[in-house]
Amino acid sequence: MRVVVDLTLCQGYAQCCFLAPNLFTLLGEEALLYDPGPDDSERVAVLRSAAACPVQAILVEDSSAS
């Protein structure tokens, strides 16, 4: 699946790092490293992270998009 984080918006709240620690990692205080192409089996964790992001910076492809 495809994910992109709008790092213009990201403020390092790190909710995603708690909810999907395999995919989102903080480097230092607030620099986010993430895997933009996680396996489909991670979909639930990714969607949870996207929903929990306080600044709604995590953008996930809708599986119905063509």
Partner 1 sequence: MSGDSFKECGRIVIVGAGLAGLRGAETLRAKGFTGSVTVVGEEEYEPYDRPPLSKQVLTGHAPANHTLLPRLGPLDGVDWRLGVKAVGLDRSANQVHLDDGSALSFDRVLIATGLRARPWPKKEEAALDGVFVVHGIDDATAVRRRLEAGPGRVLVIGGGFIGSEFASVCRMLDIDVTLVERGPSPLSGALGGVIGDIAAGIQRAHGVDLRTGTRVEALEGDEDGRVRAARLSDGEMLQADLVLAALGGIRNTEWLRGSGLAAGPLGVACDAGCRAADENAIVTDDVFVAGDVARFPHVLYGRELVALEHWRNAVVGAQIAAHNMLSEPVHRRPHVSVPMFWSIQFGVNIKSVGIPSIADEIVITQGSPNDRRFVAAYGSQGRTVAAVTFDGAHWLEHYESLIMSSAPFPPDLGDADQATGADRKPAAFPPPGTVSHGPTVVVTGHSPTEVRAHRIFTEEMNP
Binding site residues, partner 1, CB under 8 A: 1-4, 6-8, 10-12, 25, 27-38, 59-62, 65-66
Cα 39 to Cα 58: distance, rounded to the nearest angstrom: 16
Across-strand partners of 24? 34
DSSP single-letter state for residue 9: T
Smallest gap from residue 21 Cβ to partner 1 (A): 13
Smallest gap from residue 46 Cβ to partner 1 (A): 10
- Burial bucket for residue 24 (CB in 10 Å: 0-12, 13-18, 19+): buried
Smallest gap from residue 62 Cβ to partner 1 (A): 7
Q: Which is nearer to partner 1, 12 or 21 (CB)?
A: 12
